[in-house]
C-alpha cells in the first residue's frame, strides 16, 4: 500500500513537471522565432510580436509556467489542493484559448484567406513558420497534460486515500 501511494505521488509530480517543461519550451520556442526576409524591395522581419495572437500565446504560457513551477512545491497533503482544482481549471482554460487563437492566426499565415485578399506569408519566411509550428505543438502537449491533471485532481477530491495507480 505504501509503495503504491508513493508511486502515485511520484507519477503526479512527474506529470506536473512535464507540464511545466512543455509550457516553458512553448514560450522559449515562440519567443525566439524571428526571421528576416526581403520581398521585392521590401525588407520585413517576421517576429512573434507582429501579431497579438502570438503575444497572447507567449503571455498565457508564461503565466502557466510560473503557476506550474509554484505548484511543484506544494506539499502533497496540504488542504490547498482544493483551491488547486479551481486554479487548474482557470489555467487550463487560458492555455486552451491561447493555443486556439495562435492556431487560427497561423492557419491564415500558412494558407491565406482568398475572400479577404490575405496572402499567405509562410512562403517568404519558412523558418519562422516552422518554429511557430513547433511552439504550437509544445503548447498542445501542455494542454493535454493539463487536462489529464484536471481529471487527476477530480480523482483526488473524490478519494483522498486513493489506492489505485495514477
Partner 1 sequence: MASGNVEKLELSFSAVPDKPKKDWVLLSLRVLAFLATASATLVMALNKQTKNFVVATIGTTPITVSITAKFHHTPAFIFFVIANGVASLHNLVMIGVDILGPRFDYKGLRFVLIAILDMMNLVLASAGDGAATFMSELGRNGNTHARWDKICDKFESYCNRGGAALIASFIAIILLLITTVMSISKLKPKN
Q: Which residues bind partner 1 (CB under 8 A)?
A: 44-46, 50-53, 56, 85-86, 89-90, 92-93, 96-101, 103-105, 107-109, 113, 115-119, 121, 147, 150-151, 154, 157-160
Q: Is 34 helix (H, G, I), strand (E, B) or coil?
A: strand
Query: Nearest-5° angle of CA 91, CA 96, CA 97?
Result: 100
Cβ proximity to partner 1: between 45 and 70 the closer is: 45
- Provide the minimum distance between the beta carbon of 61 and partner 1 in the complex, in angstroms, as a whole number: 13
Task: For residue 67, count other CB atoms closer than 10 A to its CB.
Answer: 19
- Provide the minimum distance between the beta carbon of 41 and partner 1 in the complex, in angstroms, as a whole number: 13
Cβ proximity to partner 1: between 73 and 164 the closer is: 164
- Provide the minimum distance between the beta carbon of 152 and partner 1 in the complex, in angstroms, as a whole number: 12
What are the DSSP calls for 130-155, one per residue?
HHHHHHHHHHHHHHHHHHHHHHHHHH
Determine the Cα–Cα distance for residues 103 and 53; give it in Å rounded to an integer: 9
Amino acid at each position: 500500500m505504501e509503495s503504491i501511494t508513493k508511486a502515485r505521488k511520484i507519477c503526479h509530480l512527474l506529470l506536473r513537471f512535464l507540464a511545466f517543461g512543455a509550457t516553458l519550451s512553448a514560450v522559449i520556442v515562440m519567443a525566439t522565432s524571428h526571421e528576416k526576409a526581403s520581398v521585392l524591395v521590401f525588407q520585413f522581419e517576421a517576429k512573434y510580436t507582429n501579431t497579438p495572437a502570438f503575444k497572447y500565446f507567449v503571455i498565457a504560457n508564461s503565466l502557466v509556467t510560473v503557476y506550474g513551477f509554484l505548484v511543484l512545491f506544494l506539499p502533497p497533503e496540504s488542504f490547498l489542493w482544493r483551491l488547486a482544482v479551481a486554479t487548474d481549471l482557470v489555467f487550463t482554460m487560458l492555455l486552451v484559448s491561447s493555443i486556439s487563437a495562435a492556431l487560427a492566426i497561423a492557419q491564415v499565415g500558412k494558407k491565406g484567406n482568398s475572400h479577404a485578399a490575405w496572402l499567405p506569408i509562410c512562403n517568404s519566411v519558412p523558418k519562422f513558420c516552422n518554429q511557430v509550428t513547433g511552439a504550437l505543438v509544445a503548447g498542445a502537449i501542455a494542454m493535454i497534460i493539463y487536462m489529464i491533471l484536471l481529471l487527476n485532481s477530480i480523482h483526488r477530491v473524490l478519494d483522498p486515500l486513493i489506492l489505485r495507480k495514477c
